[in-house]
Amino acid sequence: MRKILKQYGLLIWLSLILVAGFVFTNLAGFMVSRDAIHQSLSEQTLPITSDNVYSEIQKDILRPVFVSSQMAHDTFLRDWIINGEQEPEQIVRYLKEIKTKNNAISSFMVSNLTHQYYHASGVLKSVSPTEARDQWFYRVAAMKPAYETNVDVDMANRDSMTIFINYKILDYSGKFIGATGIGMTLDTMKRLIDSYQTRFHRNIYFVDQKGTIVLAGSNIKKSRSSLQSTPGISDIATQILANKKSDSLHLEYKLDNDHILVNSRFIPELGWHLLVEQELNGDLKPLQDIAFINIAISAAITLIVLILLVLSVKRYQARIEKSAATDQLTSLLNRQAFDFVFQQALLDSERSRQPLCVALVDIDFFKKVNDKHGHLVGDHVLKEIALIAKRSLRESDIICRWGGEEFLILLKNCTLEKATSISENLRSTIAANDFSRTTDLAKGRLSITVSMGVAQYKDNESEDSVFERADVALYQAKENGRNSVYFSE
């Protein structure tokens, strides 16, 4: 088991990374798409729906507000009240014309001077502060805003639930002299809301400034009465009611397992909040299905890729090992591979009691070669020295590239004296070589010299110690004019 793990450890890790990558990619894609849908619904779709509904409201609901405003500022109506309300048939005819022209269910005017309640069919009654059904008039008289939107029974239409626009009438000095306006039946408005919901496929309803649902489709009205008493949305009721701006407010709440987005805006003309709701789970269902399909496809692809990886690892394992142990420029062993070879040589030397030496080679003034002739010539010098060393050394000797312009030679079964001789032979061969013969990059003869430090491995000596002694000998060679071989006792 350990052998398998050691041999295929990298493959196992790659497989796990690949599987994790597929899972992460799919989950990340799902989350990004989910967030995009969430953002699109919250910041684009729902606000657009809200804008469309608001446009419809301006036509279907807000029109009574504008009509009532015109009535309250009509000089005929104000003059008729101020002049003593003579000839009641005039105001009745006026209210009937307003009702017919605007297709309203009711039109009315209540005088604060005579307390008479006029409507399109005549005088309905006299209002009284002691009558509960007349309290709306005294509320309007005392309120600061110019008008209110009120849902109440219409006495002139068999007590049918009606949306009234109660608009204050002021004389020319700003004194309250009455209230006027028109009304629309609540059933008519519910049908309008139902048509909105059918058209936009979202829950649409209105709440007053206390949170009471005053206008909604039949499906919502049956299950809800106010924001504060409705599970889920009660958590954000305070935020909704605190918004007194007509700008859209993006909110959301959870109900059971459903995630519901809410777009809320305040409609100052009505004094109500318009709410548009959208369930997020329904829009995410197709996305979830696609995510599951992608995971299944990814699993199949993962299996195929794993099979290909097994075949590829077996084919290229030897090549990878060779590449990992070789310096790309000189094709010599690199320092990491040499460490392993040196450890094996130490064991062989200790077992056979045969001497072992190392020689450290450094190219003299190599930086000047690069600066004068360029790095391509410098690379050529390194490769040429590697070739010279291979030809000059014994078959059992091993050379590696130790650093930038340094080489290290391992001399097996070799005394210090013999190692120094071999090193001197290599030094003189390099010094006599014309490096320009094998390249077109250098102009004129190019001579290179090296300095070398030799050390013999001692019993129980550490690897670092023998290399350090060879480095000290190399330093002495460089300090004493370079192009020489020094050894360490």
Tokens for 418, please give them.
């013999």
pLDDT in tens, 429-448: 999 999 988 888 877 889 99
- pTM beyond 0.75: no
Q: How far, in Å, CA of 477 to CA of 474, rounded?
A: 5
Q: Is the pLDDT of residue 472 over 70?
A: yes
Q: Is the pLDDT of residue 171 over 90?
A: yes
What angle in degrees, to the nearest 10, is found between the helix axes of 186-200 and 46-60? 150
Q: What is the reported pLDDT for 198?
A: 80
Q: How far, in Å, CA of 412 to CA of 422, rounded?
A: 12
Q: Which residue has the tokens 């005017």?
A: 109
Confidence of residue 36 (pLDDT cuts 50, 70, 90): low
CA-wise closest residue to 433 among 391, 405, 478: 391
Q: How far, in Å, CA of 211 to CA of 213, rounded?
A: 6
Cross-strand pairs, 254: 259
Q: What is the reported pLDDT for 82?
A: 94
Mean pLDDT for all residues in the chain: 83
pLDDT in tens, 444-463: 889 999 999 999 999 888 88
Q: What is the reported pLDDT for 441?
A: 80
Q: Which residue has the tokens 């619904």?
A: 41
pLDDT in tens, 64-115: 888 999 999 999 999 999 999 999 999 999 999 999 998 888 899 999 999 9
Q: How far, in Å, CA of 33 to CA of 39, rounded?
A: 10
For residue 259, which phi and psi values (nearest 5 degrees)? -110, 115
Asked if residues 401 and 329 have their Cβ atoms less than 8 Å apart, the reply is yes
Q: Which helix (H) or strand (E) holds 196?
A: helix 186-200
Q: Is the pLDDT of residue 176 over 90?
A: yes
Q: Is the pLDDT of residue 301 over 80?
A: no
Cross-strand pairs, 451: 362
pLDDT in tens, 316-375: 665 656 666 788 888 898 888 888 888 888 888 888 889 999 999 999 999 999 998 889
Q: Which residue has the tokens 């829009």?
A: 283
Contacts for 419-424: CB closer than 8 Å, 24+ residues apart: 419/357, 419/359, 419/454, 419/456, 419/487, 420/454, 420/485, 420/487, 422/359, 422/392, 422/393, 422/394, 422/397, 423/359, 423/452, 423/454, 423/485, 424/485
Asked if residues 298 and 26 have their Cβ atoms less than 8 Å apart, the reply is yes
Asked if residues 425 and 486 have their Cβ atoms less than 8 Å apart, the reply is no
Q: What is the reported pLDDT for 103?
A: 83
Q: What is the reported pLDDT for 324?
A: 67
- Residue 444 DSSP code: S
Written as one string, the DSSP assignment of 242-296 is H--SSS-EEEEEEETTEEEEEEEEEETTTTEEEEEEEEHHHHHHHHHHHHHHHHH
| Percent of the chain whose pLDDT exceeds 70 | 79
Least confident residue range of 4-8, 248-252, 370-374: 4-8
| Percent of the chain whose pLDDT exceeds 90 | 38
Tokens for 7, please give them.
């041999």
Q: How far, in Å, CA of 255 to CA of 330, rounded?
A: 71
